[in-house]
Every structure is written in structure tokens, then in C-alpha cells.
Chains A and B, each alone.
Chain A
């Protein structure tokens, strides 16, 4: 049994009085212990929605309309509020995008760390502080003892994200969900933070779901990729395989759009058009208006996810090679 198994997950938001629109339209994924998965897609593809639905924290008025999220065989979506709180931040923790706003501005680092520990462990203040200092050292924060009394605004962005990572690691979770953990940081800091996350995950055998739109980061850190488009998984498989030989035209387009693949002095490639809003999805394959391989079939039917990709006209690798 896989550690985390998401089965046909649908998340719906009400539209008007009766109708609903779906932000996730049936996503499935499996994650083994210690495995690192990259979830890639444009803004609005439902990546963050997926992350929040794992912890059953979809913001009102959204709701999970169908599907299950099994963690060690236990459906998290059916747990009581109390039981799921015992899992959040304890066995599954999350790292957010912008460390400037994820730490409470009026509480010290120490208060926020100790509070996390105390929510899940019976532990004395002194022992909690000691553990917090140990974790801060693990994420390579200099003079960790004195940082406990600091307020978030006294730290730089990189240091704050390190604190957020330390908080995520406090309770030795089995799974960390990182929602674009480096997007808000300086480029130089990005690599440091990503290397830190990778190192810690490897050392402690923690599974990672890395949500990002940066295929470069995903290629370095993860073992498997899931590419999402308009609330659906369009392609999934081992990272290297997809990077080298994408089957779905959307994956191919994303890869082609990476600046490192553009020749010197040429225009950067971009996928024509933009992702449709979930309120106005085209019929059939949601990608067909932007796809150069689209046919009448694509406009009529949603392609099923088979052999790791959801496309009627996948890119044949012999064809791509020629």
C-alpha cells in the first residue's frame, strides 16, 4: 500500500445559486515513502488546490465533491476535524510560497515554533525550545539560540524560509508539501533553499510533493513528475523520462518554453494562448484550443489518462527524434 493515494479527486466551487464549477476534475496520484514528486503546471491549473485538499483545508465555499485521499490507507477527507488536526503539521506538513507572509508578524519565531510542537506533543517549554534550536541549526540558521526571540520582520527572506522549513520539520513528518517554496526568493537564495529541502528529505527519508511551475527545479529535485492542466493530470511519469521525451503536447510546450532551450539571440518560445478559466472550459480536451496537434476528436472527447499521458495524439518519440 502506498503511503499517500489520491483517487479521482474532484474539488468544486459553487457558481451562482445552483451550478458548480470544478477546480480539480478527477486527479489521482500515488506516493511511496520517501518519494519526491513534482507537480507542475501554469497558475490556476489546480496545483495548490491539490495540496490543500490533501490536508482537507479547501477554503470555503469550495468542497471536495468526489474522490478520496488515503494516507496509510486512512481517508483523510472522512476524518473528524480533531483527528485531521493531529495529522496536519504533524505527519504531513506544508511549506508555503512567500515566507514574508506565512509567519505571523506579531509573534516571535520561538513562539511560533514552540506552539507547533505543543499542538502535537506533550513537551515542556524547555525541551521544546531545545528541539527548536536543534531544528534551526539543521536548516543552517546562524546563532540559532538568539533567533528564537526574533520577530519575522527582523529576518531576511531566505532566513525566514529556512525558519518555515524548520517549522515544517519540527515534528518529523512523513510527507512535506512544498507549494512553490522558492518562487518569492532571490535567485541566489532559491538554489540554496532547494538544495536544503532536497538534503533534508534524503537524510530523513521524507516524501516530498513539490508544487512549482519551474521545470528546472523539478528536474533537479524530484523522481517523478505530474503535469497538470486545467484541473487534470495530463502527463505523469519518471522525471528524467518526461524531461527527455514528453508525450503530451502541453508537456512538450512547457519544456520548449524553458529559456535554456532557446538558442542565443532567438525569441523565447511561448505556448500560444492562455489557460482557460475553470468557469469556461472548452469541451473535450481542455488544451485543444492551444494545441497544434488538435483534431475534431480532441474537441469532442476528454482523452483518458493512459500510459502516463492524457492525449489522443501523443508525440511519438520516433517522430520527435527525426
Chain B
């Protein structure tokens, strides 16, 4: 394992990591403190005025000081909606990865440690799950959900549903990674030693083997957050994700897309830039983590 000090040294010596980390930190802080920083609360209908709709960014003709990046068709400031929307996107991304992680790590650990028919069964299940596209499953389930409940119920549970669907659909990635690490670890002598000490299998799995398999889990977690945010954005763009009154970055892009030909390009462009920055930062950090935590690429000074 790499020491914390080595980790920080590596981070500070890599310009890509610094830039990606700074961007991510900036976006996360912006999302967390949106209620205090945003010029306007886009969820509060009392603050919206239909007369403000489709205003260009403030530096262009017809712009308004109150809306630095312009407004959308409902009269919400694009900057405020982006700040709140980034939070929702991140929430769904992180939430979905927690669901994936809990499911995938548990099943992967059990499959790898127990072996035999349990392993065969769980891994075939993972294969089947992997052969169904996440987007396809999500579209089917969300379309059914939308049809079965009225719009208000849907709006209330949309975040929860997206987290669960994206989480469940992607568990095999974690399960396979953890399983292959467990297969490598479980024949090591410290596992024999733990069994000789008289520890029960559950304790050996969770306390002794799991911590030794966490490095790859950390790497795919980062990449999977980006993946989940993109999936959510795609679903929202198709009108199946977050509703327009609680927009994520994806629904913002979609809501602006209808007006792009009438010249209101800012409604789509700015959320899209933020989405790309967020995904890029996460992916770059994930790649960087993978290199740093890979013992084969370890440098002498760590």
C-alpha cells in the first residue's frame, strides 16, 4: 500500500491530477453551498417570473444583471439551476455507486470466497446483467414507473428511483473486480492463518480479505460515478430522468435543447460545459488513481 504522504506527493507532482482535483473540488463545493451562493432558488416558484424567460447572458444585449448566464424558458437563472443541478447529478452519481458498491462488493466477496456453485450462480447472474444494457433497463423501468404513477409521485421519487436503477444495473462491474481480487487473496497464507486462529468465515471475508481488495474498488468507484452521472444525464435528456422542476444537468440540457433553434443556446450550452468538466475531472482522477495504486507502476520515492 502507498502511504498517505507518498500519495500527497504524487498528487502534487502531477499537473493533470491537480487540475482535475481542483475542478472537482470546485464543482462539489459549488453544489454543496448552492443554497447560499446561488443568486436565486430555482425550486421556489415564488421567485420565478415568466417575464424573465429566455434572457441572454448578462453581457449580451437584453441581458440582466440578476442572471449572469441568462435564463431558461421558465425564467430561472441558468447559473442557479446549474448550481443546484450539479448537486442533483452528483447525488445520483454517488448514490448509485454506493448501491453498486454495496451490492457488488458483497456478492463478489461471497462468490470469490465461497467458490463452487455459489460462485458459478452469482457470476452467471452478473453475465446476464451485463448483457442487458443499463440504459435499456433504466428506460423500461422508468417508462413503466412514469406511466403507473402521476407526475407528482414520479417527481418525488425520481432521485431515489434513478439511484436504485443505475445502482442495480451496474453491480456486476464491482462484483467481478472484487471476485477476481478475492481469488488472488484467499489462497494467501494470512487467510490460512486467520482460519487457524479460529475466526468465522464472515469475519475472514470482511475484515481480512476485503481490505486487501479495496484498491481496485477505489479506482472503479471514481470511474463509475462519472458513468452513473452520464447515464442519468442521458435518461434525463430522453425525458425519463429528473423532472423539469428539479433539474439535473441532463434535464437542463434537454430543457434548453428545444430552444436552441430559436437562438437561446445558453440554456443548453452552459449545463453541457459543466457536465463535460465534471465527467472529465472524475475520469482523469480515476485514471490517475489507477496508476498511483498500481504497484507495477510504483516509483521509488513513494
Contacts and interface: CB of A to CB of B under 8 A. Distances in A.
**Chains A and B come from one and the same complex:** yes
Interface of A: 55, 57, 60, 85-90, 93-94, 96-98, 101-107, 115-116, 119-120, 164, 167
Given A55-B196, A60-B115, A96 B189 contact: yes
B143 interface: no
A88 B201 CA distance: 13
B197 A88 contact: yes
Nearest to A177: B196
A115 B200 CA distance: 11
Interface residues of B, number: 19
Nearest to B195: A57
B197 A116 contact: yes
Given A60-B115, A98-B189, A115-B207, A104 B197 contact: no
Contacts of A103: 190, 193
Contacts of A87: 198
B212 interface: yes
A105 B1 contact: yes
B218 to A, nearest CB: 13
B187 to A, nearest CB: 8
Given A57-B196, A86-B198, 11 more contacts: A60-B115, A88-B197, A88-B198, A89-B196, A93-B196, A98-B189, A102-B193, A104-B212, A115-B197, A116-B198, A119-B199
B194 interface: yes
A104 B196 contact: no
Contacts of A93: 196-197
A107 B208 contact: yes
Given A88-B198, A96-B189, A119-B199, A107 B115 contact: no
Contacts of B291: none
Nearest to A117: B197
B198 A90 contact: yes
Interface string B166-208: 0000000000000000000000111011111111100100011
B263 interface: no
Contact of A88 (B190, B196, B207): B196
Given A105-B1, A106-B212, A96 B193 contact: yes
Given A101-B190, A104-B208, A85 B198 contact: yes
Contacts of A120: 198
B302 to A, nearest CB: 13
B115 A94 contact: no
Contacts of A119: 197-199, 203
A106 B211 contact: yes
Q: In this complex, which of A87, A93, A116, A164 has the most chain B Cβ atoms within 10 angstroms of its Cβ?
A: A116
B198 A102 contact: no
Contacts of A106: 1, 211-212
A57 to B, nearest CB: 6
A96 B192 contact: yes
Contact of B190 (A85, A104, A115): A104
Contacts of A104: 190, 193-194, 208, 211-212
A58 to B, nearest CB: 11
A164 B196 CA distance: 12
Contact of A57 (B189, B192, B207, B212): B192
Nearest to A164: B193
A146 B237 CA distance: 58
